[in-house]
Amino acid sequence: MTISQWLLSTLCTTAVLGGFVYFLRDIILAKLAARIKHQYDEDLTRLRSNLAQGEFRYSLVFKETADKILKTYQMLLEVYEAAQDVTTDWGDEERRKELGLELDRKALEFGAFYPPNEIYILKKTRHKISNFWKTLNSMVRRHGMLRQAGKGQVVNPATVEKMAKEGDELREEAAKLLASLEDEFQLILGFPLDDDKSESK
% of the chain with per-residue pLDDT over 90: 37
Per-residue pLDDT tens digits for 162-192: 888 888 999 999 999 999 999 999 888 888 7
In a domain, 142, yes or no: yes
Question: Taking phi first (over 0 means left), then psi (-120 to 50 degrees means alpha), and beta for anything else, what does residue 134 get?
Answer: alpha
Choose among 88, 86, 187, 168: nearest CA to 128: 187
- Give the phi and the psi of residue 2 in degrees, each rounded to 5: -85, 165
Contact 126, 181 (CB under 8 A): no
In a domain, 125, yes or no: yes
Domain range enclosing 155: 65-200
Per-residue pLDDT tens digits for 45-73: 777 766 666 565 557 778 888 899 999 99
Contact 118, 94 (CB under 8 A): no
The Cα 43–Cα 48 span in angstroms is: 9
In a domain, 11, yes or no: no
Which pLDDT does position 199 carry in this prediction? 44
- Give the phi and the psi of residue 40 in degrees, each rounded to 5: -60, -45
Mean pLDDT, rounded, for 32-38 = 73
pLDDT higher than threshold 60 for residue 196: no
Which residue did the predictor score with more confidence, 9 or 135? 135
In a domain, 132, yes or no: yes
Contact 171, 139 (CB under 8 A): yes
In a domain, 70, yes or no: yes
In a domain, 31, yes or no: no
Which pLDDT does position 137 carry in this prediction? 94
In a domain, 6, yes or no: no
From the number of C-beta atoms within 10 Å of its C-beta (0-12, 13-18, 19+), residue 103 rates as buried
Domains of the chain: total: 1
Where residue 137 sits, what CATH number does that domain have?
A: 1.20.120.230
